[in-house]
Amino acid sequence: MKPDHLSSTARRLGASALGCGLVVLLSACASSAGIQPVARPLAAADLGLATAASQASVAADWWQAWGDDTFSGLIAQALQAQPSLKVAQARLARAQAAVDGEQAGNGLRVAGTADITREHFSANSIYPAPLGGSIRTLANVQVAGSWEFDFFGRHRAAMDAALGQARAAGADLQAARNLLASQVAQTYVQLGRLLAHREVAQRSLVQREQMLGLIRQRVDAGLDSRVELRQGEGALPDARQQIEQLDEQIALTRHALAALAAQPPDRLASLAPDLNRLHATALPASVPADLLGRRADVTAARWRMEAATQGVSAAQAQFYPNVNLSAFAGFSSIGLDRLVESGSRQYGVGPAIRLPIFDSGALRANLHGRTADLDAAVESYNSAVLEAVRDAADQISSLQSVQRQQAEQAQAQAAAESAHDIALQRYRAGLSGHLTALGAETALLNQRRQAVDLRARDLSARIGLVRALGGGYTPDTPPPAHS
């Protein structure tokens, strides 16, 4: 066989061997096979919710329609100055910075270098005389650039994941605003309830003082004994002690409200809410799925689920090659006097491909972790949805029950007022004893307290339902839909 034929045969064999080697290497590359998420997000049908849009709505500034300027002003002050909201704002800024960083990492990178080194060259090394054994100055000035081609979507998925986290942080901020507004409103109602209870207690004290005067008149007339007199005298300290307890609770509640509004504790010392001045707007009588879906905490959970999904995509893309294009240009010389000469120019350009072949399972471990993160995000979303449905259903049930209780209590209080008037008249006329009048007064006071409590509970349930329905939150960018 001729030598040239042998040479061509050897080249063909070498090419075949190289091709086989590439096939073997590629077949031995790290693989993502068999790693899949297992959690699935809940749908509206899973929770028995109607998917059709309801006519119900909640205004973003719902408190403005309640007819109390002081109430509205405290909520506005809290939303502007509360430090807890500023923490949430800082977290949002941090998430947005992560988006900017991810975006910057997916673009052209250009770096410049310049270095000067004074070096003694060995006379016994690879450099001949006169360079060997001499001391020279090495100078290098270079500009280098690189660009990574995102053929497999790794950077795009990482960018989408960062963007999802930023949008989740934005929704968290709105959830914090909704919670803070409801906390201020609930504390305001609680303060009004305590003040109304104090008014009832003060009226009770006045009534007992009047009753004590009547008892003394009857004792002087020989119609009552000192037993009734001592009972009447003992009722006064008890009434005053109840008022003192209420004063303490009122002071503490004012302090709590001032803290929520980021004000000094004594700033609200004269604040006296009147629950009858608060006029809540109408709210839905069933759980609307569209409003629950727009709750800020549910939206945040859905964005985190989307971010985790993109994190899995980014981890999967790491199993594929990275393709980079790099180039450099500059000057290099021995001696500064020759640095910018044409003969000192240096430049180069070329692609680079990096493919993971064997990494002891590091990529699979990373993908396992990202997949677990996705499963956790999905279950967190499911938990948020379940809690939202329960929360709204609880508030609606409480509101409906309180309204029915109010109707019954109004009739009971009317009867107690009438019974108390009759008992006082009979006692003055000597037709009944002191204990009968005292029992009628106790029943009346209990009904008055229940009226205050039910009014406060009605307002509290309305505030809770507004919060449970999202507080009027509307996401600027709709989150991705998951079936």
Q: pLDDT per residue over 396-430, tens digit each?
A: 899 999 999 999 999 999 999 899 889 888 877 77
Kindly state the helix (H) or strand (E) to which residue 373 belongs, with its residue range: helix 362-428
Q: Is 30 a member of any domain?
A: no
CATH number of the domain that residue 277 is part of? 1.20.1600.10
Residues 120, 227: one domain?
no
* CA–CA gap between residue 291 and residue 289 (Å, rounded): 6
Residue 218: which residues within 8 A CB-CB, separation 6 or more? Answer: 224, 228, 430
Residues 348, 257: one domain?
no
Q: Which residues of 85-97 are buried (b: 16+ CB within 10 A; e: fewer)?
A: beebeebbeebbe
* CA–CA gap between residue 143 and residue 331 (Å, rounded): 9
Residues 126, 84: one domain?
no
pLDDT at 51: 56
pLDDT at 96: 85
Q: Which domain holds residue 84?
A: 37-106+152-320+362-468
Q: Is 384 a member of any domain?
A: yes
Q: Which two tokens stand for residue 316?
A: 């999967």
Write down which residue in 354, 372, 398 finishes a domain: 354
Kindly state the helix (H) or strand (E) to which residue 190 belongs, with its residue range: helix 154-220
Residues 145, 164: one domain?
no
pLDDT at 16: 44
Residues 137, 278: one domain?
no
Three-state DSSP state, 398: helix
pLDDT at 48: 65
What is the dihedral sign for C-alpha 287, 293, 299, 305?
positive
Residues 162, 239: one domain?
yes
How far CA 139 is from CA of 66, 112, 121, 328, 387, in Å, comes to 76, 14, 15, 16, 67
Q: Is 46 a member of any domain?
A: yes
Q: Is 218 a member of any domain?
A: yes
How many Å from the N-terminal Cα to the C-terminal Cα in the chain? 70
Rg of the Cα trace of the chain?
A: 40
* CA–CA gap between residue 29 and residue 223 (Å, rounded): 107
Of 277, 282, 263, which Cα lies nearest the Cα of 192? 277
Residues 186, 251: one domain?
yes
Q: Is 379 a member of any domain?
A: yes
Residues 118, 170: one domain?
no
Q: Is 447 a member of any domain?
A: yes
CATH number of the domain that residue 329 is part of? 2.20.200.10
Q: What is the total count of domains within the chain?
A: 2
pLDDT at 30: 62
Of 110, 130, 135, which Cα lies nearest the Cα of 120? 135
pLDDT at 477: 53
- Long-range CB contacts for residues 344-347, cutoff 8 Å, separation at least 24: 346/142
Q: Which two tokens stand for residue 194?
A: 């305590």
pLDDT at 454: 94
Residues 241, 194: one domain?
yes
Q: Is 450 a member of any domain?
A: yes
Name residues of the chain where pLDDT drops below 50: 1-28, 482-483
Residues 316, 220: one domain?
yes
Residues 92, 61: one domain?
yes
Residues 208, 326: one domain?
no
pLDDT by residue (tens digit) across 347-372? Answer: 888 887 877 777 677 888 888 888 89
pLDDT at 229: 78
pLDDT at 444: 87
pLDDT at 352: 78
pLDDT at 12: 46
Write down which residue in 332, 354, 376 finishes a domain: 354
Q: Is 15 a member of any domain?
A: no
Write down which residue in 354, 378, 406 finishes a domain: 354
